[in-house]
Each structure stands twice: as structure tokens, then as C-alpha cells.
């Protein structure tokens, strides 16, 4: 018969088994907005959070400059995994990314998912947060500057200049598989009421978007496209709704790009004149 009581045996086991001795860390993950590309547009909180990562999952819309800043001077750099979800490009399937985040978080890693722009604006951050929270992972979300905002500002235009617009609509041009997508003529009618339309992922279906909007908006409505906003590769074109697809082809613009439609683009000319006066 053993002289050691079951209670003592359990206590000894606790003392020698490192998994039991070390209090288990609550599984944790952060979804961090990397902004449009310029590392100076990263928030202080975003930078602090990515620098705490032991595993960094990087979206393909995140600029190399932002990743370099996240890694700079780290004595123990995180494991960096490039993942991405770009329409039309070969990329890591969403389900795989979610499984990877979950398994790393459950294994005790400090998982940070660095996403282009803002994680909760068309970034599937909502789905990722739901999937992780459902498995007991604590999810922190850190906002970033969304590319639609950076694109409009790159043109020198405020989303909601009081003289031209009383609101803004952020819309995706990429419908979910099998879903009908938005009714562009209805959105055009809303834009006609003074709302600026900011379209993400609109380049692949630009002709259909243009045709729908033209059912509700005059062809002369100002339009603009900004590719790679907030990065050194930034390019843009100004046009009208009627000449949108033609202008995009003529300038050779492609994804990732933001399409902006609305009278607020008139503010660009006014602001440029004011700037010249100041100069």
C-alpha cells in the first residue's frame, strides 16, 4: 500500500508538471488595422500591440514598411506568417487563416493579425472575431485608417465638406458568392441626396457599377479613382461618372483602388484654388 495519499500525489504532480505549475494564459488575439500603407499613419496603439506579438499574421494589403516598423529592434522577433484575401488573386483561404489564428492562440501564442486599413471595414475582421470568441479566445480590435478615407484625403477632399455632402456611404463592389450585391441605382439615388459614395473592391465590376449608378445620377457627376492610396505607388484619376471605365482604362489603374463618386469632389477644385491663394 502506498504511503503517499492521493492528495499529496496530486500536489506533487502539480509541482512537477510545468503545464500545471504555470498558470494558463487566457488565449488572446488582436486584430490590428495597419492603415493604408504609410507607417506614419499607424496608431500608437497599433504599434504597441504588434510589438507584443509572438505570431504576426500579415495581410497582403499591409505595406512592407509597416511590417518593418513592427519588427524593428525586437530582441525576439515574432514568427511572421503572410496570409491574405485578395479578390481575384491566389491567397490563403479564409477558413485556413481562422484555424491558424485559433490554434496559435490556444497554444498560448500572442497572435496579432495585421490587416490593411481598418480591421472592421470590409476586412472580414467581424467574422474572425466571431470565430475566435466562439472558442473562448479574447479578441482585441485596434482601429486603423481605412483606405477609403486615405484615398479621399489624397485628393485633398473631405468626405463631408459641408457645402457638398452631408454624409458618406462605404460600399463594397464585390458581392458575396451567390449574393446579388447592392442595387447601384438605389445607392445612386442616395448619392443624389448629397451622400459621398466610397466604393471598395469595385474595380472588377466597374462597368456594372457605373451602369447602375447612371440610372440615378447624371453622367456629369464627379468621380475619381485612387490606386495604392497612402503608399509611394499611389496613382489617381479624376473623371465623371459617364467616363469612369474609360478613364480607368486610359490611366491603366487597377486594384487595390477606391472609387469615389459625388459632388464633394468639386471641393477639390475649390481647395486647390484656396491653396494657390495662400501660396
Residues marked active site are found at: 59, 85, 201
> How far is Cα 174 from Cα 35, in angstroms, rounded to an integer?
21
Of 31, 32, 109, 116, the residue at the interface with ligand SAH (CB under 6 A) is 116
- Please, are residues 56 and 50 in contact by the beta-carbon 8 Å criterion? yes
> How far is Cα 165 from Cα 192, in angstroms, rounded to an integer?
10
Return the residue nearest ligand SAH (CB atom).
117
160, three cell numbers? 463631408
CB 271 to ligand SAH: min, Å = 21
3-class DSSP assignment, residue 9: helix
49 burial (CB, 10 Å; 0-12 / 13-18 / 19+) is buried
The residue assigned the cell 504555470 is: 22
Interaction of residue 229 with ligand SAH, rule CB under 6 A: yes
**Torsion 39-43-46-51 (CA) sign:** positive
39-98 residues in contact with ligand SAH (CB under 6 A) are: 61
- Closest to ligand SAH by CB, 54 vs 255, is 255
User: Which of these ranges, 11-19, 132-140, 157-165, 223-231, lies near ligand SAH under the rule CB under 6 A?
Assistant: 223-231
Cα angle: 57, vertex 124, 140; to 5 degrees: 60
User: Which of these ranges, 15-23, 38-46, 130-138, 225-233, lies near ligand SAH under the rule CB under 6 A?
Assistant: 225-233
> How far is Cα 250 from Cα 255, in angstroms, rounded to an integer?
15
> How far is Cα 169 from Cα 127, in angstroms, rounded to an integer?
21
143-182 residues in contact with ligand SAH (CB under 6 A) are: 146-147, 151
Of 29, 30, 31, 36, the residue at the interface with ligand SAH (CB under 6 A) is 36
Interaction of residue 184 with ligand SAH, rule CB under 6 A: no
CB 255 to ligand SAH: min, Å = 5
Interaction of residue 201 with ligand SAH, rule CB under 6 A: yes
User: Which of these ranges, 9-17, 115-123, 206-214, 215-223, lies near ligand SAH under the rule CB under 6 A?
Assistant: 115-123
82, three cell numbers? 503572410
Of 70, 165, 200, 241, the residue at the interface with ligand SAH (CB under 6 A) is 200
In sequence order, the 6+-apart residues with CB closer than 8 A to the CB of 32 are 46, 49, 50, 112, 113, 114, 115, 119, 141, 142, 144
| Contacts to ligand SAH by CB under 6 A | 36-37, 61, 115-118, 121-123, 146-147, 151, 200-201, 226-231, 255-258
Amino acid at each position: 500500500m502506498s504511503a503517499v495519499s492521493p492528495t499529496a500525489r496530486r500536489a506533487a504532480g502539480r509541482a512537477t508538471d510545468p503545464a500545471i505549475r504555470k498558470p494558463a494564459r487566457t488565449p488572446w488575439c488582436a486584430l490590428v488595422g495597419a492603415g493604408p500603407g504609410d507607417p506614419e499613419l499607424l496608431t500608437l496603439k497599433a504599434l504597441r500591440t504588434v510589438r507584443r506579438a509572438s505570431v504576426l499574421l500579415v495581410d497582403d494589403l499591409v505595406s512592407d514598411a509597416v511590417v518593418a516598423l513592427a519588427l524593428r529592434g525586437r530582441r525576439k522577433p515574432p514568427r511572421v506568417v503572410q496570409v491574405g484575401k485578395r479578390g481575384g488573386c491566389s491567397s490563403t483561404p479564409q477558413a485556413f487563416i481562422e484555424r491558424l489564428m485559433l490554434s496559435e492562440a490556444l497554444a498560448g501564442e500572442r497572435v496579432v493579425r495585421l490587416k490593411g486599413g481598418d480591421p472592421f471595414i470590409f476586412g472580414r475582421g467581424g467574422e474572425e472575431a466571431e470565430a475566435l470568441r466562439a472558442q473562448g479566445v479574447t479578441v482585441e480590435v485596434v482601429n486603423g485608417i481605412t483606405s477609403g478615407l486615405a484615398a479621399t484625403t489624397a485628393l485633398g477632399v473631405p468626405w463631408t465638406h459641408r457645402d457638398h455632402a452631408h454624409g458618406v456611404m462605404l460600399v463594397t463592389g464585390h458581392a458575396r458568392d451567390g449574393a446579388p450585391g447592392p442595387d447601384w441605382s438605389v445607392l445612386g439615388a442616395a448619392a443624389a441626396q448629397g451622400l459621398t459614395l466610397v466604393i471598395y473592391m469595385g474595380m472588377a465590376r466597374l462597368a456594372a457599377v457605373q451602369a447602375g449608378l447612371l440610372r440615378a445620377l447624371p453622367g456629369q457627376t464627379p468621380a475619381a479613382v485612387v490606386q495604392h492610396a497612402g503608399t509611394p505607388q499611389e496613382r489617381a484619376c479624376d473623371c465623371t461618372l459617364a467616363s469612369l471605365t474609360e478613364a480607368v482604362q486610359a490611366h491603366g489603374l487597377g486594384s487595390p483602388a477606391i472609387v469615389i463618386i459625388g459632388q464633394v469632389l468639386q471641393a477639390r477644385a475649390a481647395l486647390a484654388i484656396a491653396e494657390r491663394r495662400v501660396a
